[in-house]
Amino acid sequence: MERAHREGFDEQERIEVRASGPLEGSVVIGGAKNSVLKLMAACLLTEGTFVIRNVPDIEDVTVMAEVLRAMGVTVSRSGGALTIERPAAITPEAPYALTEQLRASTAVLGPLLAGAGNARVALPGGDDFGPRPIDMHIAALEIIGGRFEISGGDVYATADNLVGNPVLLEFPSVGATENVMMAAVRAKGTTVIDNAAREPEISDLAGFLNHMGGQVTGAGTSTIVIEGVEELRPVEHTAVSDRIEAATFLAALGVAGGEITLLGARPDHMAMLCRKLGDMGVRTSSDPDGIWAMCSGRLRSADVSTLPYPGLPTDCKPLLVSMLSVAEGVGIVTENLFSGRFRYVDELVRMGADIRTEGHHAVIRGVDRLNGAPVRASDIRAGAALVVAGLAAEGVTVVSDPHHIDRGYEDFAGKLNALGADVRRERPGG
């Protein structure tokens, strides 16, 4: 698992997208990035050999593996399975060189507190869609006995004894819910998280912890109850399917038309998105193997508002904006989670999209056709959304900085091409 990209080299790498006819066929949806990263962190909780299956071969997983290795953990990949060997003694530190590449590396805080009693984790800083604080993680972990100090850009955490307590989250933060779950599983007594995040990845983590011997109930609802246990054991686990990767192929279908099957996708985790896509003209239904979907004719506009699960995921928003750019009518998109998550819109405008943004809102007037242009991927989902837009654009869309897409998608171009798209990864000199 060598890092696939190098600074400088990336500068010139690009993805070229040409307009696509209808997409046909099936695509295998991988394991959820946002679950796998936390499952990897949870392996810090106890000594032994863990196996996580259905792990996508993506950059964020590679960086998380480096975070664990820096602590003395052995991580190896064989096909879609990661074997993680956590020794008895670890160095509970995550350096800035790694955390700045992967914000989700803050997920080690909870398991390190519970599994090692202390941690030093460099603060990752903001990212392209705004500030990404971890104040809620820290406040919640303090309630169950963690002590924190921030100095020189690092969070120093210690806990002699973690104790179960009621934790009321100010907002159903995914990361804060997960960090508390992973620490409280070893606390003395009962922790009740109220206003917990309800994402399917939280339920996957709860299943993993329970399999390890933890006692977590209520995951998937707003109240999660964790009875602390004294011992945990290593386990084998298959990660839940990636609903955002599945959504990405549905967006591609929306702009290109056609009929596809998303193998392994979980319709029960995508109900709100499928309803919205139905309003826009993309038909979806449960299939024994995943999700079947069809789209013909021009998309219709709809209004979109992002919310914590089970609402419409903020991660799907850039994809929906690409779809609305070529839909019939006007759609208003409201972002309720991240302050700066409209920056990629300027790239779509360069492709001829008619979009105005104002604070948390974007007004999108669908155009008949986009035009290919050089554009830049600024984060994982924005990058994927630009490739999707390219499928509906005349001429060639050249997406630079594709390493952002590699952070969250395994073989994105290859999977789209297998459905009939024309997406080429161009590397300098070959």
What amino acid positions are annotated as catalytic residues?
127
Shortest reach from residue 244's CB to ligand EPU, in Å: 6
Q: Which is nearer to ligand EPU, 50 or 338 (CB)?
A: 338
Q: Which residues contact 430 (CB under 8 A, 6 or more apart)?
A: none
Q: Which is nearer to ligand EPU, 177 or 261 (CB)?
A: 177
Shortest reach from residue 150's CB to ligand EPU, in Å: 13
Q: Which position has the token pair 């169950």?
A: 144
Q: Which is nearer to ligand EPU, 25 or 126 (CB)?
A: 126
Shortest reach from residue 177's CB to ligand EPU, in Å: 8
Compute how many other C-beta atoms are within 10 angstroms of the C-beta atom of residue 25.
Answer: 11
Q: Which is nearer to ligand EPU, 162 or 337 (CB)?
A: 337
Q: Which is nearer to ligand EPU, 171 or 427 (CB)?
A: 171
Residues 419 and 15 sit within 8 Å (Cβ to Cβ) = no
Residue nearest to ligand EPU (CB): 175
Q: Which is nearer to ligand EPU, 337 or 348 (CB)?
A: 337
Residues 293 and 250 sit within 8 Å (Cβ to Cβ) = yes
Q: Which is nearer to ligand EPU, 197 or 304 (CB)?
A: 197
Shortest reach from residue 135's CB to ligand EPU, in Å: 5
Shortest reach from residue 197's CB to ligand EPU, in Å: 6
Radius of gyration of the chain, Cα coordinates, nearest whole angstrom: 21
Q: Which position has the token pair 């990845």?
A: 201
Token pair recorded at residue 327: 């839909």
Residues 169 and 140 sit within 8 Å (Cβ to Cβ) = yes
Q: List residues binding ligand EPU (CB under 6 A).
A: 33-34, 37, 104, 132-137, 171, 173-176, 197, 313-315, 337-338, 380-381, 408
Shortest reach from residue 319's CB to ligand EPU, in Å: 11
Q: Which is nearer to ligand EPU, 174 or 385 (CB)?
A: 174
Shortest reach from residue 277's CB to ligand EPU, in Å: 18
Shortest reach from residue 335's CB to ligand EPU, in Å: 10
